[in-house]
Amino acid sequence: MRQARAGIRALCCGLARFALGPLEVLAAATQLLAIALACIGLIFFFPPVVERTRVVTSLARRLSGTWSRVPVADPYRAAPRTAVRGADARFHASDGTVYPTARTAAFALRSRWIWTDPATWRDLVWTLTDPIVGGALAIAPSALIGSGVAMLVLQPAVVAGTPIVALVAGLLCVVAGVLLAPRMLMLHGKWTRLLLGPASPAAITRAVVWRRWFGVGLLSSIRCLVLGALSLLAPLLLLVCLLAVVLTGPVVAMWVVAWGRWLPNMFRQWGFSWFGRDLPRPYACDPRRPRIAGDGAVPPATGWAGLVARARNMWFDPATWRDLLWLACQPLAGLPMLLPVASIGYGLWGLTLPVLQAPLGTTLSPWYGELFGSVWAAIIVGPILIAAGFVLAPPLLQLHGRWLGLLLVPTAHARLRSEREQLAVRVEQLTETRTAATDTLTAELRRIERDLHDGAQARMVAVGMTLSTVEVLIDRDPVAAKALVAQARDTSAAALAELRGLVRGIHPPVLAERGLVDAIRALALDSPIPVQVDATLDTPVDAPVESALYFAIAEALTNAVRYSCADQILIGLHEASDLLRVTVHDNGAGSADPTRGSGLRGIERRLASFDGRVILTSPPGGPTVVIFEVPHRHRTAER
């Protein structure tokens, strides 16, 4: 009796689970539509759709634990933490990514959480397959009982021609359905736990491998399609360039040829990220600006002579002819890039069209959904063709990158010339930096000498003269001598204060004793405006760089206090790979102009000695953001 009640309960639960099939189909269709929209750039639809459809899978987990006695734990990752507002008024995530607004940060973090969670894709697979697999498991006992009832009531003489055999067969079907219902319901719960439960470490590893293979194959296939389509434009560009040479002459045609460089330059730009090869631009000159005299170049000229000189430079540049040769050969090399796309497309064609053959009521030809005259052969070979396209795309992409390296990379002579030009620019930068550093050091020494001469030295001379007067008056006028001694004491104290201030201007003691972070906090405590400091420094910094950054921050803080009319200042110090970045942000009136004062110019000269730079953003109405960036060499030596 207990088994009968359990069977009847399991039958009811199975029918209810089968009734949820249309809801699962709707959830799967909605997610597939969101994925299709994401493929064309509308990625913002997918995260909210997934969060809404998780109601269906969460209901399936609860029903599996309640009805099937197979508990299924929640497999989703923990929701991401919100981004924290930094000192630069931007929002920093835990992985180091920076976002401009809180809304952008929240959407990006939540989208990444949805896209990268393996449970998202396991839910999609379950909603796609459960209406078939789970529906069959859930409805099988009821179907068995229905068949038995039909044998008992509707057509008893059909089975073996005798009512007794039909009666026995019908009873057996009913009993088997009642007895199998709990087990089928439990089997359905195990099937649900297989996909909707937390994955094991081995399953996670396999899923990562398959997802990586699928992602690389899909991305490589899309890139092959883009390269193949763009390769068809190469002969058109070549034809335009040849017509320009024939109709207008080589001087005017140089503008057309220079414009036609956008296609090979686009392939060069994609070289590192798509093909794993560095494809720098090899051009010796730009027709839009005159070349500098030297190294065999034609001296700059004006008017028609200048145009002729630039045209001669461009047409004698080997990179120009290599580009034209590439335009002529690229269609032949680009057509094989369409093979993976054709394989995937024909595989999908063979999978979908045979399914539509019956509703359409048509007979498909061998090119449309049949293979060797068989629709089922096309259905079987279709997945093989799709997998072959995914496998073929990455090596074909790498092979195409090698082909591009034959014509689009600079020659040895062009590479040597480019290195010489870069070395000349670097030498010029270092010369300017050395000159600026020398001028800064000379000005600093003159300031120290002036401060010593006009300040502390004058006061010490005054102390000496006062003590000489005290020596004369100490016997005949002790009261006046005491007053002069007190005056000498005050003068010496003032001289000592000036010397301390002078030493602090050379290298602050707090910087030498406590480091850059605490020195910045000390500056913040001395500011009349509230200053918030967000500084993290994991590795030591060279003392000259520390000093330069300290005085740069002090100057920026002084400017903000004097001119910005701000009521809050944020100072941030962070390490970004091999770069130290300091941000001084105030909510003042803005409109800061480095040309109207010498403070920022002095900071630029000071940081230029260390290959640093200053970035100023100060629109009218504020806020003002000053960023100092200095290269940082990690060292392990103790302070």
- My answer on whether 493 and 523 are in the same domain is no
pLDDT exceeds 70 at position 215: yes
pLDDT exceeds 60 at position 293: no
| Confidence band of 556 (pLDDT split at 50, 70, 90) | confident
Amino acid at 5: R
Calpha distance 108→43 (Å, rounded): 11
Least confident among 27-31, 166-170, 546-550: 166-170
Average pLDDT over the chain, rounded to whole? 77
User: In this predicted structure, what is the pLDDT of residue 281?
Assistant: 78
- My answer on whether 361 and 340 are in the same domain is yes
Q: Partners of 572 in the beta sheet?
A: 534, 583
Task: Encode pLDDT of 50-71 as tens digits.
Answer: 888 888 888 888 888 888 888 8
Domain of 385 in residue numbering reads as 223-410
Which of 82, 81, 90 minimizes the C-alpha distance to 574? 90
Residue 204 falls inside a structural domain: no
- Residue 291 tokens read as 């070349």
User: In this predicted structure, what is the pLDDT of residue 405?
Assistant: 83
The three-point CA angle 334-337-341 to 5° equals 140
462, 482, 505: which is the final residue of a domain? 505
Please enumerate in sequence order all residues whose Cβ is within 8 A of that of 217, keeping only pairs 6 or more positions apart, or say none: 389, 390, 391, 393, 394
User: In this predicted structure, what is the pLDDT of residue 192?
Assistant: 84
- My answer on whether 617 and 594 are in the same domain is yes
Q: How many residues does the chain have?
A: 639
pLDDT exceeds 50 at position 385: yes
- My answer on whether 486 and 540 are in the same domain is no
Residue 99 falls inside a structural domain: no
- My answer on whether 401 and 454 are in the same domain is no
Residue 208 falls inside a structural domain: no
Whole-structure pTM over 0.85, yes or no? no
Strands 569-576 and 531-535, bridge-based pairing: parallel
How would you label 62-83 residue by residue, b for 16+ Cβ within 10 Å and e otherwise? ebbbebbebebeebbeeebeeb
Task: Encode pLDDT of 390-424 as tens digits.
Answer: 899 999 988 988 888 888 877 766 666 666 766 77
450, 479, 505: which is the final residue of a domain? 505
Residue 596 falls inside a structural domain: yes
- My answer on whether 496 and 556 are in the same domain is no
Calpha distance 312→295 (Å, rounded): 15
- My answer on whether 372 and 447 are in the same domain is no
Residue 636 falls inside a structural domain: no
- My answer on whether 530 and 499 are in the same domain is no
Task: Encode pLDDT of 532-555 as tens digits.
Answer: 888 877 777 777 788 788 888 888
Least confident among 165-179, 220-234, 395-409: 165-179
Residue 614 falls inside a structural domain: yes
Task: Encode pLDDT of 461-491 as tens digits.
Answer: 777 777 777 777 777 777 777 787 788 777 7
Residue 207 falls inside a structural domain: no
Which of 432, 415, 470, 433 minimizes the C-alpha distance to 631? 433
| Confidence band of 290 (pLDDT split at 50, 70, 90) | very low
- My answer on whether 11 and 150 are in the same domain is yes
User: In this predicted structure, what is the pLDDT of residue 78?
Assistant: 81
Q: Partners of 371 in the beta sheet?
A: 374
Supply the DSSP string of 539-566, one letter for each residue.
Answer: S---HHHHHHHHHHHHHHHHHHHHHS--
User: In this predicted structure, what is the pLDDT of residue 368?
Assistant: 53
User: In this predicted structure, what is the pLDDT of residue 506?
Assistant: 60
Please enumerate in sequence order all residues whose Cβ is within 8 A of that of 630, keeping only pairs 6 or more positions apart, or say none: 545, 548, 549, 579, 580, 607, 610, 611, 612
User: In this predicted structure, what is the pLDDT of residue 160?
Assistant: 47
pLDDT exceeds 80 at position 89: no
In 3-state terms, what secondary structure has residue 349?
helix
- My answer on whether 516 and 613 are in the same domain is yes
Considering its fold, how many domains does the chain have in total?
A: 4
Tokens 């790979």 correspond to what residue? 577
Supply the DSSP string of 286-345, one letter for each residue.
Answer: -TTSPPPSBTTBPPP--HHHHHHHHHHHHHT-HHHHHHHHHHHHHHHHHGGGGHHHHHHH
479, 505, 531: which is the final residue of a domain? 505
- My answer on whether 263 and 304 are in the same domain is yes
Give the DSSP H or E segment for 202. Answer: helix 201-231
DSSP annotation of 529: S
Residue 618 falls inside a structural domain: yes
- My answer on whether 195 and 292 are in the same domain is no
CATH number of the domain where residue 600 is located: 3.30.565.10
Are the CB atoms for 51 and 114 separated by under 8 Å?
yes
